[in-house]
Structure 1
Amino acid sequence: MQRPYFHSGQGMIEFLIITPVLLLLVFGALQFALMYQAKTALNYATFEAARAGALSNARTSIIENTFARGMAPVYTHDDTVDEVEQARERVRRDIMNGLVIFEMINPDINAFNDFGFDLYDDGNIYIPNDNLMYRPVNTGSTSGLTVQDANLLKLHITYCYPLYVPFVNQFIIRLMKNVPNADEPWNAGIPLSGTSNETCLKSRSPDDDRWMDTLKPDVQARFPLHAQAIVRMQSPAIQPPSAGMGSGPSIIWTGGTF
């Protein structure tokens, strides 16, 4: 009687096929769990920054310091004072390296042009915050807002979050670098120049010359996380210097003004 014929190596082939997929799923779940934790902290830190800004004339330095304090738990692994200080300093370094982009959506430049004046004779432009109930409700000629609307502080903060999980981090970054953009929504391409996404996705990868112009030599590609918060001003908003990215009326800054 002839013995049945068996094919050898079938298990190895199946293993080689399923292993990359399994690793992508497991590592991807871990990476997105870390990203969700960071996004939760970012939401809280953005709200805290907006609340602190509302109490302190929307000063950029106060907003930055409060944001650094709010994001510190992402990098804190125990309850020692040194650990907390190191975590806060790490976020401050990210701010100084341009990896946190602050945008004051409201009040914007147009609102300061319509309602701002030298309230305290100190050379700074403020939007008045007192007696809003009795102030006129006429809209400004350039902003289209009332002075009451101009006293709502709205912040949009982008944090360039580092991806830690191997294999998945490069996979996500390469996907992000080749998503459709506003110029060519039907095609894959580089994120629009001057946007916060481009700032986060700049990489020093030697096989991608398009992304060699990094902000700092030690900066690697990161994933952009976004959060917004809006609160009512409790003090007169002071006009900060507008700089950085964008061509709209929003006040955008990066690099730190500590």
Structure 2
Amino acid sequence: MAEFIIIAPALLFVGFATVQFVLLYQAKSTLDVAVLEAAREGAVNNGSMKAMRAGLARGLAPIYARHADADGVAAAQAKAQADAANFSIITVLNPTQQAVQVFSQPRVYLDPSNPVMEIPNDTLMYRDSSMQNPAKMSVQDANILKIHVHYCYNMYVPLANKVIYYAANVIGSIGRMGILTTEPANLNKDPYGFPQNGDSLCKVKLADGIATGRWPLSLDSEAMVRMQSPFRMASANDSPNPTGN
């Protein structure tokens, strides 16, 4: 009995940590699929950031599913949309700003006095494939959409979530007055616990984390697809990324 009492807390923590790491693996796998879905949405919507964020939310919904019914699906989608809007950063890696400047052409749709600047997406096989330009790529390469997503996944397994958050951000020390305490001592001076590997989007004030149980960890993923519509920089800026804390 004495030996069990001594070892039980450690075994319990190992069990919690194992569950949390399994959930992290599931979240990363789901994020990979969600980012691909976001890229596909952007490919058919002129690189629209709003469309990509909607696709990301739709792909992330399984992470938030708690009940296998219509209400559970609706709740998961609502939570995924909120987190996709507030806790994810979508960065367009390609086409680059320089590629947009080099290849964008005005195109008239409805209003002749207001042409739309976009990278041509039609008859690509017949267009010049030369890379002799400031962008150092061809127009065919400029029609490849590549995005990077930085997403804050909320860990929710008790104890393990806080320990992993503190360890990942290098906050405090292990043991007495370390990761199991309510650091920092001065919340006004150091509300985030002075994370050495801090993330401006995924960090929380330690007092808020203790109160709400929200301990996020950043996950990253990339996806690349061929554009199915002309890329427009205006569309890529139609939904601003969150700025973080």
Q: Does 1:46 align with 2:35?
A: yes
TM-score, normalised relative to structure 1: 0.74
The verdict on how the C-alpha distance between 1:198 and 1:39 changes in structure 2, with shifts beyond 3 A counting, is same
- Unmatched runs of 5 consecutive residues or more in structure 1: 1-10, 180-187, 207-211, 244-251
Please show how residues 182-221 of structure 1 align to structure 2 within 5 Å: 190-191=196-197, 197-200=199-202, 202-206=203-207, 220-221=214-215
2:99 to 111, 114, 125: 111
Q: Once structures 1 and 2 are overlaid, which stretch shifts more, 164-173 or 76-85? A: 76-85
Q: Does 1:67 align with 2:56?
A: yes
For 1:198, what is the secondary structure of its paired residue?
Answer: coil
In structure 1, C-alpha distance between the alignment counterparts of 2:67 and 2:57, rounded to whole Å: 17
In structure 2, C-alpha distance between the alignment counterparts of 1:224 and 1:240, rounded to whole Å: 28
Q: Once structures 1 and 2 are overlaid, which stretch shifts more, 124-133 or 136-145? A: 136-145
Residue of structure 1 in register with 2:241 after alignment: 254
Q: Does 1:138 align with 2:130?
A: yes
How far the C-alpha of 1:221 sits from its partner, in A, is 3.5
Question: Deviation digits for residues 1-56 of structure 1, max 9, x if unmatched?
Answer: xxxxxxxxxx63x4454233312321111001111121121111111111121111
In structure 1, C-alpha distance between the alignment counterparts of 2:68 and 2:132, rounded to whole Å: 50
Question: Deviation digits for residues 149-187 of structure 1, max 9, x if unmatched?
Answer: 1111111112201111111111111111129xxxxxxxx
In structure 2, C-alpha distance between the alignment counterparts of 1:52 and 1:232, rounded to whole Å: 11
TM-score, normalised relative to structure 2: 0.77
Residue of structure 2 in register with 1:78 after alignment: 67
Paired residues of 1:111 and 1:140 also in contact (CA < 8 A): no
Question: RMSD of the alignment, in Å?
Answer: 3.0
- Unmatched runs of 5 consecutive residues or more in structure 2: 172-193
- How many residue pairs get aligned? The number is 216
In structure 2, C-alpha distance between the alignment counterparts of 1:118 and 1:54, rounded to whole Å: 19
In structure 2, C-alpha distance between the alignment counterparts of 1:79 and 1:165, rounded to whole Å: 21
| Counterpart residue identity of residue 154, structure 2 | P
For 1:222, what is the secondary structure of its paired residue?
Answer: strand
How far the C-alpha of 1:148 sits from its partner, in A, is 0.8
Paired residues of 2:35 and 2:56 also in contact (CA < 8 A): yes
